[in-house]
Structure 1
């Protein structure tokens, strides 16, 4: 199964992230730019990317309350 590349988005609410491989992380405020992609390991989750090593995982049912796509494509 193939997954599309991460899409540009911005946060609608504050989100806590973690660094890949570490327990440390931080909180990102609403309005922050990010990239969003469906998780290849768990299709019920979306991964929000903040750079290359910092991520947050969001359940698919909460995605529309968490982010807004900014790449201009229609949202399905």
Structure 2
């Protein structure tokens, strides 16, 4: 199955992230730039990327209240 590359976005609310392979993470404030893509393992979730090793997961139903896309394309 093929998935889109991550799209640029910004946070609308505060989000807690994790590092790949480590349970620890940090909190990102609203307005932080990020990239978003649908989770390949679970289509009902989206992955928010902060760099290459830091991520957060959000349910598809909460995506519109969590992020806003900044690439000019319509939000799905």
Q: TM-score, length-normalised on structure 1?
A: 0.98
Matched, 1:45 2:45: yes
SS at match of 1:25: coil
Following TM superposition, the consecutive aligned residue runs of length 4 or more in structure 1 with deviations greater than 4 angstroms are none
Segments of structure 2 that go 5 or more residues without pairing to the other structure are none
Segments of structure 1 that go 5 or more residues without pairing to the other structure are none
Q: Give the number of aligned pairs.
A: 76
RMSD of the TM alignment (CA)?
A: 0.5
- Map of 2:28 onto structure 1: 28
> What is the distance in 1 between the residues matched to 2:33 and 2:75?
17
